[in-house]
Amino acid sequence: MSERNHHILYILLFGVLFYMGNWNIPVSDPVEVNYAQTAVEMLQSGDFVSPRIYGHYWYDKPVFFYWELIAAYSVFGVTDFAARFFPPLFAVAGLFLVWFFAGRLYGERTGFWSAVVLGTSLIYWCLAKLIITDMALFFFMSGTLAFFYLAYRSREKYLYYASYVFAGLAVLTKGPIGLLLPGFIILLFLLWQRNFQEFRRMKLFSGMLVFFLVCSPWYYQMYLLHGQDFLDTFLGVHNYLRATVSEHPKWDVWYYYTGIFFLGTIPWSFALPMALWRRFQTRDFSLEPDTRFLLLWAVVIQVFFQCMATKYPTYTFPAFFPIAILTAHMLEGRKILKRAAVAGIALCVLVTGLLAGYYASKDGHFAGKPVAEYLNQRMGEKDVLLCLGDYRASIVYYTQHTMYSLDSVEGIESRRAKAMDWSSKNVMPFLAFGDVPRDRDVYLVLEENRRDELEHHFPEGNWQFLMKSTEKDAVLYLYYRKAQE
């Protein structure tokens, strides 16, 4: 077998690692379940254009990731494995892309080690298993920049069209950032190179036509269906507001993404910084265009998102593509490559095994699945399901039963969705304490720190304790009240 075929086989084996145990990891609150439940409701409604959750239209993200989930549910059914099917698939595709791209830049061996560095990085393994948009965005955004650069450094100008297609899919996955950020990187690179002629060779007119053909039909259809409400919520709240007003102020610190870099690249955390430091010590500041483009790619993404008000651990994930290539290139031929790769694979296998074993055990409670399984055995179609505490959307996902968030009248009013405010994400159903029906059986999911409120708002009692579920971040109690005749 040729070396190239060996590389293909080894990269495919990463898929085994990425898929391992996925059938046994339940959908978690609060992020994963929003995607999973939205796709279920789209599938149930037969409407594959407008994302919806809890019966409301939902403009948090574009549609492509929901289409992935719908496709998986259609083939495998609504299962944990189906919900986690596409992230590992895109993860393997991302490894092949980095292998192909780095191989064209630095040679076959560097391409292979770039894939190994990326595939054994802790953040890559994690996102290969999570039900979120970031792995798909990583693949499409990386493809946008990779095919631009391959077209730039070769005579194969048709590759520019591949870049525009990938950009369209990135925008269909995450929104305008899928074009704006790669476009900004490309602009800075051409200015750095002082290559202004390339703007005329980039097939801008025909390429942008291809881009719009890929992504604009869905956006146009959404505007026709939902008008200004779609623009205000999707562009206003989930793009402009996210950039200007921190959703989680405590994480809005200058060193946030530096920490993410060192944690996310385990076991390679210090490899690239050390290689760059050695280069600095030798006063070797010469950068060939390939290395210059990769460094710009990595640094711009880090700095760009550090300047944004809202910070998430996954925002700078696309920077790990060029980081993996630079790491493999600068460490090529050194024993540390093989040692770190073995350590990375061992770590991923160990953590995967521990997780799978934990979730398989009777104490492996995570999200609302144990509560939902209990409810599925007891609840009738007309029974009422309530939640007092953080909204456990995973219970809705696993029961497909409407759940109301209990609160006071004043509390409900303060939490209702408002324009250009983070409250617009509160689309779950609400119910005031005084409106809980007495003529229907009622099930109440109660967080441990809210138990005093149960006695305060329902002094008459009549609640029967059913079960206790210990989660990673909370203790849940399930109570039942029989209908009063």
Q: What DSSP string runs through 417-480?
A: --TTSGGGG--S-EEEGGG--SSS-EEEEEEGGGHHHHHHH-TT---EEEEEEE-SS-EEEEEE
Residues 414 and 320 in one domain: no
Q: How confident is the model at residue 266 (pLDDT cuts 50, 70, 90)?
A: confident
Q: Is residue 363 part of a domain?
A: no
Please tell me which residue, 118 or 230, carries the higher pLDDT value. 118
Q: Is residue 175 part of a domain?
A: yes
DSSP-based three-state secondary structure for 247: coil
Boundary (domain end) residue, out of 358, 381, 399: 358
Boundary (domain end) residue, out of 358, 378, 401: 358
Q: Is residue 200 part of a domain?
A: yes
Q: Is the predicted pLDDT of residue 284 greater than 60, yes or no? A: no
Residues 321 and 381 in one domain: no
Please tell me which residue, 426 or 49, carries the higher pLDDT value. 49
Please tell me which residue, 19 or 415, carries the higher pLDDT value. 19
Identify the residue whose tokens are 């405590």: 250
The pLDDT of residue 15 is 87
Q: Is the predicted pLDDT of residue 124 greater than 90, yes or no? A: yes
Listed residue (26, 122, 29) closest to 83, CA to CA: 26
Number of folded domains in the chain?
2
* Residue 416 CA: distances (Å) to CA of 104, 390, 399: 53, 15, 25
Residues 125 and 170 in one domain: yes
Mean pLDDT (whole number) for 112-119: 92
Please tell me which residue, 252 or 371, carries the higher pLDDT value. 371
The values of phi and psi at residue 148, to 5°, are -60, -50
CB proximity list for 367: less than 8 A, separation 6 or greater: 26, 27, 28, 29, 33, 392, 394, 471
Lowest mean per-residue pLDDT among 13-27, 171-185, 202-216: 13-27
Q: Is residue 153 part of a domain?
A: yes
The pLDDT of residue 363 is 47
Q: Is the predicted pLDDT of residue 273 greater than 80, yes or no? A: no
Q: How confident is the model at residue 93 (pLDDT cuts 50, 70, 90)?
A: very high
Listed residue (71, 73, 74) closest to 82, CA to CA: 73
The pLDDT of residue 142 is 97
The pLDDT of residue 7 is 87
CB proximity list for 112: less than 8 A, separation 6 or greater: 7, 10, 11, 99, 103
The pLDDT of residue 386 is 93
Please name every residue paired with 470 in a beta bridge, in sequence order, or none if there are none.
Answer: 475
The pLDDT of residue 133 is 95
CB proximity list for 3: less than 8 A, separation 6 or greater: 108
Burial class (CB in 10 A: 0-12, 13-18, 19+), 313: middle
Residues 330 and 396 in one domain: no
Q: How many CB atoms lie within 10 A of CB 244?
A: 10
Please tell me which residue, 343 or 98, carries the higher pLDDT value. 98
* Residue 239 CA: distances (Å) to CA of 60, 69, 226, 289: 9, 23, 18, 33
Residues 348 and 383 in one domain: no
Measure the CA–CA gap between 375 and 466, rounded to whole angstroms.
10
The pLDDT of residue 364 is 45
Measure the CA–CA gap between 149 and 321, rounded to whole angstroms.
14
Q: Are the C-beta atoms of residues 476 and 373 closer than 8 Å to each other?
A: no
* Residue 128 CA: distances (Å) to CA of 101, 138, 315, 395: 20, 11, 15, 24
Q: Which range of residues forms the domain containing residue 423?
A: 369-481
Residues 217 and 313 in one domain: yes
Boundary (domain end) residue, out of 339, 358, 377: 358
Q: What is the CA radius of gyration of the chain?
A: 25
Instruction: Mark 253-275 as b/e (b = at least 16 C-beta within 10 Å).
Output: eeebbeebbeebbbbbbebbeeb
Residues 416 and 302 in one domain: no
Measure the CA–CA gap between 241 and 233, rounded to whole angstroms.
10
| Strands 475-481, 464-470: pairing kind | antiparallel
- CB-side exposure of 401: number of CA atoms within 13 Å? 25
Lowest mean per-residue pLDDT among 2-11, 24-33, 256-265, 422-431: 422-431
Residues 182 and 278 in one domain: yes
DSSP-based three-state secondary structure for 230: helix
pTM of the model: 0.91
Summarised one tens digit per residue, pLDDT across range 194-235 is: 888 888 889 899 999 999 999 999 999 999 999 888 887 777
Instruction: Mark 367-397 as b/e (b = at least 16 C-beta within 10 Å).
Output: bbbbbbebbeeebeeeebbbbbbebbbbbbb
Summarised one tens digit per residue, pLDDT across range 343-387 is: 777 777 776 666 666 555 544 445 578 889 999 999 998 999 999
Q: Is residue 364 part of a domain?
A: no
Measure the CA–CA gap between 23 and 20, rounded to whole angstroms.
8
Q: Is the predicted pLDDT of residue 423 greater than 70, yes or no? A: no
CB proximity list for 4: less than 8 A, separation 6 or greater: 108
- CB-side exposure of 454: number of CA atoms within 13 Å? 23
Q: Is the predicted pLDDT of residue 144 greater than 90, yes or no? A: yes
Q: How confident is the model at residue 256 (pLDDT cuts 50, 70, 90)?
A: confident
Please name every residue paired with 481 in a beta bridge, in sequence order, or none if there are none.
Answer: 442
Residues 158 and 80 in one domain: yes
Residues 19 and 76 in one domain: yes
Q: Is residue 423 part of a domain?
A: yes
Measure the CA–CA gap between 341 and 310, rounded to whole angstroms.
33
Residues 433 and 334 in one domain: no
Q: Is residue 458 part of a domain?
A: yes
Q: H helices within 333-444, ranges in order?
A: 335-360, 369-378, 393-399, 409-415
Residues 64 and 207 in one domain: yes
Give the neighbor-by-neighbor strand order of the sheet with 442-447: 430-432, 403-407, 384-388, 442-447, 475-481, 464-470
Q: Is residue 156 part of a domain?
A: yes
Q: Is the predicted pLDDT of residue 240 greater than 70, yes or no? A: no
Measure the CA–CA gap between 297 and 105, rounded to whole angstroms.
15
Q: What is the DSSP letter of 416?
A: S
